Chain A
Amino acid sequence: MLFLAFALVASACSGDDGIDVSDAPADDTGDDDTSDDATGDDDSGDSRSGGVLLAAQGAEPDRLDPHLTSAFASFQVLENVYDTLVQPGADLSMEGALAESWEVSADNLTWTFTMRDGVTWHNGRAFTAADVEYSYNRILDPEAGAANAWRFGSVESVSAVDDTTLEIKVSRPTPNLLVSIGAFKGMAIVPREIVEDGTIDTQPVGTGPFKFVSSSPDQGIVLERNDDYWRADEGLPYLDGVTFTQIPDQTVKLTNLQTGEVDWVDTVPPQQLAGLEGDDSLVVMRVPGGDYHYFALNQNRPPFDNVLVRQAIATAINRGEIAEAAQFGAATANQAAIPAGTFWTYDYSPFPAADTDAAAALLDEAGVTDLTIEFLVSSEFPETVTQAEVIAAQLDAIGVAVEIRDVDFGTWLDVQGSGEFDAFMLSWIGNIDPDDFYYAQHHSDGGFNFQGYNNPDVDELLDAARVETDESARKALYEEAATAIIDDASYIYLYNPENINAWGANVQGYVVRGDNAVRFEETWLDG
């Protein structure tokens, strides 16, 4: 609804990287709907069910309570166990999941959702609107400790009118409410009984395509087919089960795929992408992702409070080189946050690349000499260290020295929170709505405006855009805000990385998604 389609075929990514890894064996690489011919006479139709897929993930899920975890590894698993009220479709526009339909009142302050019929929990109990009321109120309760409570900033009340009707009242028009409740499994609907008996972390019960069976250090996380899935009439899910194992070392993880020990891996080391070209036993799929990498200079600390200094840095760097060094070409340099190809894309590139003369002139104008910048990075995100090294070399050309402060992520968060830094570098992941891209980071009251950006015009624009229900008017407001944010170098945006998954040639029907969600419901194994 809100978005143009993300190009979902690997070859659609920037054509100049020389790597074509789109040689998926079957004709199902694209976004053609595999469900519509599940009952057809397609020659692979009969083999679409069966098999247990072995998936390898790089990190260990910390816990399995979708409301309390913030770990991507947990969501890779939970994506297949739980449902949200609405969910992003292949083009990332929101479509019905547990809710079949919804409407907004004329004053835009009441949303009414109608639940899908005949959905049951994995424990056999019928799903009702009361489950949604319970789940959302749990997220809203600070005592529960939900990591995603912030997504409900404008929600005043959630109540089940009857078994199939849910009403959400908001304090202000909230055009991104569907994205807030659906873009992310952290907003999953959970049954009250497993929260109350304390088994939600050890024995999750959802409504999704796969049922949780067990989790142990030696067996990994075992999921089995949910025969009563609400898309069972389409034959889904095709697989008998999915088992997640955790393999921290990237090279070893890839070796497991190459030797057939696992069927699917969640990442490929970018430096090995070229080497996998032409390997017929594997499929590597890359799609433009919604994540972005950036760094921010501390505007509470001179001389970074001077916009000329920030602009000088933004002009001196070469984003293409940074992306190449950090991601080996599996990324697109961008001076703005939102990647190309979505409804919200705003193509704005005011800074010349690596223009050392212009950058030096800006520093002169600011009257700054002998500048040293300490970059806060973390080896737990190794690309940030590489990027800082490249930036150090690039800024050397205008006489600016860079000191790299590489700490573990726990320390990184602490230092960022304390404001004791010159510059921090990281990425934001999983954003879809522009409010997620800008408000918390650049509004003067934003919870994540650690760089200390304060522009009343931007505040006004972001406040207005947040409640604007007309899509094109909303887009125009965000473009105006983004122009100021980029010109003022509140964040210095670097690039959008691609989402990359790889799997064995026997895996069919899996698609890498623009939001990087890992969904196996339409996947099957060729016998």
Chain B
Amino acid sequence: MTAYVLRRLFQMALALLGVSIIVFSLIHLVPGDPVRVALGTRFDPDVHAALTKRAGLDRPILVQYFSWLGDAVRGDLGVSFRSGQPVADLLFERLPATITLAVAALFVALLVSVPLGILSAVRSGSKLDYGATAASQVAVSVPDFWAGIMYILLFSLSLRWLPPSGYVSFSDDPVEWLKHLTLPALTIGLISGSILFRFIRSAVLEALHQPYTRTARAKGLTERQVIWSHVMPNAWIPIVTVVGLQLGFLLSGVIVVEVIFAWPGLGRLALLSVQDRDFTVLQGAVLLIAFVFLSVNLIVDLLYGYLDPRVRQK
């Protein structure tokens, strides 16, 4: 087990290295000069030269990469060109908002998708099944920015139930925290939930048609016992995989939703750093997102062992 985790951690480090090379190459392939963006449309050429030199942007690209990498492995992600602040500070002050939204959205997604997915599979072909499938189709198809604006116009402007945007931390005011969280969590939670619903429904449906389910029924077990003791234990594995992927996706910062709801998360920071060619921040943000994604995947893989004794024995 320990050896397995260590091997996975080593693979993660390799993957992160690969990600850093790809991001670094891409951002230098795209035209755009961070110094020009910072100085605006009008500037003094001497100032431009001095800033370029100070930021080390006049050095060959490989030198820039390895100097960044050397600092990064020692835990120093550098300083943002745009704001003059340490990259690590910028990332970590935005991490709580991103985690809050991701977890809340996943909560909404699970709340909707697990009961509906199981019921739809068990009563496959019923009105409930058709209704839920159609609703999920609509929810995945509607663009998130449009849905977000509609929720704001309905729940904030017309009904005045919830604030239209912004983020309040839980420690400052739990009630306001929940009010501000509801609409963005609903916007992506319902989309995420629709995707999960379809997976859960098909995973349960597949398990329902397995020989062991027929056997369980033949033994005379009640339908409830069949579902919870035989169908679901087998359906959980594909479900957990997809839930893990969804959580990784939510944690990586849902840029559009963060912009609409003025949510101060990592996605918005990453977007700003792309616009301003703030290389160090973008590198840091992408690495952090990749790290979170890979970690969630590792946790999911470890969960398999818990859910399925066969995996544990291998």
Contact = CB atoms under 8 A, between A and B. Distances in A.
Interface string A72-107: 000000000000000000000000000000000000
Interface stretch (A61-69, A155-163, A387-395): A61-69
B152 interface: yes
Interface residues of A, number: 45
Given A259-B164, A410-B276, A65 B156 contact: no
B31 A70 contact: no
Contacts of B37: 409-410, 413
A249 B163 CA distance: 15
A202 B36 contact: no
B93 A216 contact: yes
Interface of A: 60, 62-63, 65, 68, 70, 142-147, 149-150, 201-202, 216-218, 245-249, 251-252, 255-256, 258-259, 261, 380, 408-411, 413-415, 417, 426, 428, 440, 447-448
B98 to A, nearest CB: 10
Closest 8 CB pairs of A and B: A410-B32, A217-B264, A70-B40, A142-B46, A414-B31, A149-B44, A247-B262, A145-B51
A433 to B, nearest CB: 14
A428 B41 contact: yes
Interface residues of B, number: 53
A66 to B, nearest CB: 13
A68 B272 CA distance: 18
Contacts of B93: 216-217
Interface of B: 30-34, 36-47, 49-51, 54, 82-85, 93-94, 97, 149, 152-153, 156-157, 160, 163-169, 172, 259-262, 264, 268, 272, 274-277
Given A142-B44, A149-B43, A261-B164, A414 B32 contact: yes
Contacts of B32: 408, 410-411, 413-414
Contacts of B45: 447
Contact of A255 (B44, B153, B259): B153
A146 B167 contact: no
A131 to B, nearest CB: 21
Nearest to B49: A142
A201 to B, nearest CB: 5
B33 A410 contact: yes
Contacts of B163: 256, 259, 261
B260 A68 contact: no
Given A70-B39, A149-B47, A259 B156 contact: yes
Contacts of B34: 410
A247 B165 contact: yes
Nearest to B94: A217
Contact of B43 (A63, A150, A246): A150
A45 to B, nearest CB: 34
Given A255-B164, A256-B163, A428-B41, 14 more contacts: A62-B82, A63-B84, A65-B84, A68-B38, A145-B51, A216-B93, A218-B168, A246-B262, A252-B260, A255-B165, A259-B163, A410-B31, A413-B32, A413-B41
28 contacts: A62-B276, A63-B84, A68-B38, A70-B43, A142-B44, A143-B50, A145-B47, A145-B54, A146-B47, A149-B44, A201-B85, A202-B85, A217-B264, A218-B264, A249-B165, A252-B152, A252-B260, A252-B262, A255-B156, A255-B164, A256-B166, A259-B157, A259-B160, A410-B33, A411-B32, A413-B33, A414-B36, A448-B42
